[in-house]
Structure 1
Amino acid sequence: MTIERKAPTGILGFPVAPFKANGKLDEKALERNVQFLIDGGLTSIFIACGSGEFQALSKGEYQAMVEVAVSVASGKVPVYTGVGANVSQAIEQVKLSEDLGADGYLVLPPYLIEGEQEGLFNYYKAILESSNLNAIVYQRDNAILQLETLQRLIDYPQVVGFKDGYGNMELIVEQTQTIGDRLEWINGMPFAEITMPSYVPLGCNTYSSAISNYIPHISRMYFKALLEGNNQLVRDLYVNVLLPINRIRKSRKGYAVSLIKAGMEIIGLPVGNTVRSPIIPVEKEHYQALEQILKSAFEKYPVDNKEVSH
C-alpha cells in the first residue's frame, strides 16, 4: 500500500478525554466530541494528545480513545494519535495506533529529561523507525530542535509535519525558511489563534485549535478573515472573544485543558468539568466569566453551518 506523505492542513481538532463523575472515561461523550469537531469543519482529529490529558491515561483508556476516534471519523478526516513520554511507550502506542487504523501520530516530548540535540534526535529516530505511518514532530518544553537536528529528521519520509509549541520566532523563521515546503508547518502554541498572525507569513497554513471544541465556527471565521486580510473582523474577534478567553486561560495553570471542558459543558456537550490531577477544574468565577463571553459571542457571531464543508 502506498502511503500519501502529506500532513493535515487547516484547523486541526484536538478532542478532550471526557470523564464521568466516577472518574472513568466516558466513551459516549468522546464520540460526541469527535463528531462535533468533524461537523464543525475541522480537517483532522488528533486523539489522546495534550488536550486529551495524554499524561493521565491508562493503556486501556488510550486504546479506547483511539478506537472511538477512528470509528467516528470513519475515513472522513484523518486521525492522528499522541505518542511519547518514553521511547518504549511511544513505540507501543505507534504500533497500537497503526493496528487500530490511525493515519499517523504526533510525537510528544520525552518525559521530564532535557536532552542534548543528539539525544533528542535519537528519541525521535527510534520512534520513527518503528513504523511507516506518517509522523508529526512536536517542538515544545524540553524538546526544542535546532535546525541541523530537524534537517536530519526529515531524511525520514515518515516526517510530514512539524508542530511548534515553543514560540521562539527567530528559531521558527530559521526552520521554516531553510526547510521550506518539505514539511507542513503547524502553529501549536497554547491558544494558537492568538499568535497565528505571526505564523502565517512564515508558511504556516495549519494550527491546532482548543476553542474549536466548543466554538468551531469562531475559529473558522477568524482563520478565514486572517487569510483574506479582513483585519477589522480579525480585530473584532480578538477584542470580543479570543483575548477575553485567553485572559481566563492564563489565570490558572492547567486551564489550557480544563477551560476547554468548561466551554464544552457551557454549550451543552456532555463532558462535565472533571479533569485528572494535577490539572484542576475551572473555578466558579472563571466558569461564569466564560459563560458570559460565549453568550455574547453567539449573539454577535451566530453559527452558520452552511459554511462547513470537507
Structure 2
Amino acid sequence: MSNIRKAPTGILGFPVAPYNENGCIDEKSLTRNIEFLLDEGLEAIFIACGSGEFNAISRKEYELMIEIAVSVVDGRVPVYTGVGGNLSEATEKAETSEKLGADGYLILPPYLIEGEQEGIYQYYKAIITSTDLNAIIYQRANAVLQLEAVQRLTDFPQLVGLKDGLGNMDLNIELTQTIGSRLGWLNGMPMAEVTQPAYVPLGFDSYSSAISNYIPHISRAFYNALLKGDQQRVNEIYQDVILPINRIRKSRKGYAVSLIKAGMDIIGLPVNNTARPPIIAVEKYHYTQLEEILKTAFEKYPRNNKAVI
C-alpha cells in the first residue's frame, strides 16, 4: 500500500472478470489481463469495478480478484478497488481492500435509492473515513454531489479524486475551477476517449480506458496526440477506431462490459466472450464488426512489433 495522497494520472486500466467453462473466475486469465495492462504502461489498475462486473461477483470472488491484482502489480502502480452498494457492504469492502493491500478505492453509487445532498455526503463520508486508504468519489447515476458537498468532503485527507461519469460540464467547470488541484480529476464517461478532448482543458488529467484491455496502444496514441495538439492524428483515430467501436457499444445495454471481453477474445487474450446476467455476450454480428475495426486498427496503427500473447 502507498500513503501518497494523490489520485492516479494518465490512462487507467480496468480489468474484466474473466470466467472459465464452469462460470468461476479464471485466475490465469485475470493475471494475464493485468500483466498485459502493466506491460503496456497503464498508470493504475482498478480491480473489481464496473468493467470487473462489481455487480455480479461474490464476496469471495471480490477478495480473490483483489489478491491477484495486488500480487501481480507488486507495487509497480497503484491498485484501486471498487466499493459501493449499501453502506454496510461498502464499508466492509473498503476494509477488505485495506487488509488485502490495495492503495485505494473508487466509491460506486449506492444501490437504487436516491438521496438528498446531505444523505449522499454522509454516504461518502462514512466510506471515506472507514479506512486510511485513498478514496475517489464517482459522479454518476443516483450519486451526484454538487460543489458544497464535494468541498466538505475535501476536509478528509483520504479523498484524493473525483471521477465523472455524468458529463455535466457546467458542474465540472464549477468543481474544477473552485476546488482546483486539491483533487485529481478523472474522466469516467462511457468510452472516455470520445469525450476526453472536452475534459483536458478543465484539468482532467486521467481517464478510464475500456479499450485499453485490448488496444492500449490506440489509447496511448490518441492521448499523446491530444496532449500534443496533433488534431489530425486525433481525428484519424476517432474516425478509424474510437467512433466505430463506440457505435457498437451503444447498440446494446451492457456492451460497455461485454464488448471489452469480445475485443480481448479477438486479439488472442485468454478470456471468453461471456458475462453474467443481466449483461449479455456480444452478438455475432457486432463481434464481426469489431473484428473488422480491430483489423484496421492494427494495420494502420501497428503495435511496434510487440507480441499480443
Bin for the TM-score computed over the shorter chain: over 0.9
Instruction: Specify the code of the residue in structure 2 equivalent to 1:93.
Output: K
Take 1:187 and 1:222, find their aligned partners in 2: how far apart are those partners? 15
User: Could you say which residue in structure 2 is the equivalent of 1:185?
Assistant: 185
- 3-state DSSP class of the match of 1:32? helix
1:40–1:305: 8 Å Cα contact kept in structure 2? no
Aligned residues: 306
User: Could you say which residue in structure 2 is the equivalent of 1:118?
Assistant: 118
User: Could you say which residue in structure 1 is the equivalent of 2:242?
Assistant: 242
Instruction: Specify the code of the residue in structure 2 equivalent to 1:296.
Output: T
Take 2:304 and 2:110, find their aligned partners in 1: how far apart are those partners? 41
Task: Call closer, same or farther: CA 1:305–1:181 in 2, change over 3 Å.
Answer: farther
Take 2:139 and 2:7, find their aligned partners in 1: how far apart are those partners? 16
Measure how far apart 1:305 and its partner are: 7.1
Take 1:303 and 1:41, find their aligned partners in 2: how far apart are those partners? 13
2:2–2:103: 8 Å Cα contact kept in structure 1? no
User: Could you say which residue in structure 1 is the equivalent of 2:152?
Assistant: 152
Take 2:125 and 2:169, find their aligned partners in 1: how far apart are those partners? 25
**In terms of mean alpha carbon deviation, does 13-22 or 211-220 score higher?**
13-22
Q: What is the aligned-residue RMSD (CA, Å)? A: 1.1
Instruction: Specify the code of the residue in structure 2 equivalent to 1:133.
Output: L
Take 1:103 and 1:128, find their aligned partners in 2: how far apart are those partners? 13
Match status 1:216 vs 2:227 = no
Q: Which runs of 5+ in 1 are unaligned?
A: none
Take 1:187 and 1:7, find their aligned partners in 2: how far apart are those partners? 12
User: Could you say which residue in structure 1 is the equivalent of 2:4?
Assistant: 4
**Cα deviations by residue, 1:156-181 (Å, 9 ceiling, x for unpaired):** 10000100000011111111111101
**In terms of mean alpha carbon deviation, does 18-27 or 215-224 score higher?**
18-27
Measure how far apart 1:29 and its partner are: 0.3
Take 1:277 and 1:8, find their aligned partners in 2: how far apart are those partners? 31
**In terms of mean alpha carbon deviation, does 296-305 or 133-142 score higher?**
296-305
Match status 1:28 vs 2:28 = yes
- 3-state DSSP class of the match of 1:54? coil
Take 2:161 and 2:12, find their aligned partners in 1: how far apart are those partners? 13
Take 2:246 and 2:2, find their aligned partners in 1: how far apart are those partners? 42
- 3-state DSSP class of the match of 1:97? helix
Where do 1:1-310 residues align within 5 Å?
A: 3-304=3-304
Take 2:70 and 2:257, find their aligned partners in 1: how far apart are those partners? 22
Take 2:200 and 2:4, find their aligned partners in 1: how far apart are those partners? 24
Measure how far apart 1:304 and its partner are: 2.4
Q: TM-score, length-normalised on structure 1? A: 0.97
Measure how far apart 1:2 and its partner are: 8.2
Task: Call closer, same or farther: CA 1:182–1:238 in 2, change over 3 Å.
Answer: same
Take 1:4 and 1:51, find their aligned partners in 2: how far apart are those partners? 25
Take 1:259 and 1:96, find their aligned partners in 2: how far apart are those partners? 29
Measure how far apart 1:203 and its partner are: 0.4
**Cα deviations by residue, 1:14-55 (Å, 9 ceiling, x for unpaired):** 000001122111111000000000011100000000000000
Instruction: Specify the code of the residue in structure 2 equivalent to 1:209.
Output: S
Task: Call closer, same or farther: CA 1:200–1:56 in 2, change over 3 Å.
Answer: same
Take 1:2 and 1:273, find their aligned partners in 2: how far apart are those partners? 35
Take 1:188 and 1:217, find their aligned partners in 2: how far apart are those partners? 19
1:162–1:184: 8 Å Cα contact kept in structure 2? yes
2:161–2:186: 8 Å Cα contact kept in structure 1? yes
1:217–1:304: 8 Å Cα contact kept in structure 2? no
**Cα deviations by residue, 1:266-303 (Å, 9 ceiling, x for unpaired):** 00011111100000000000000000000110000000
1:135–1:158: 8 Å Cα contact kept in structure 2? yes
1:46–1:80: 8 Å Cα contact kept in structure 2? yes
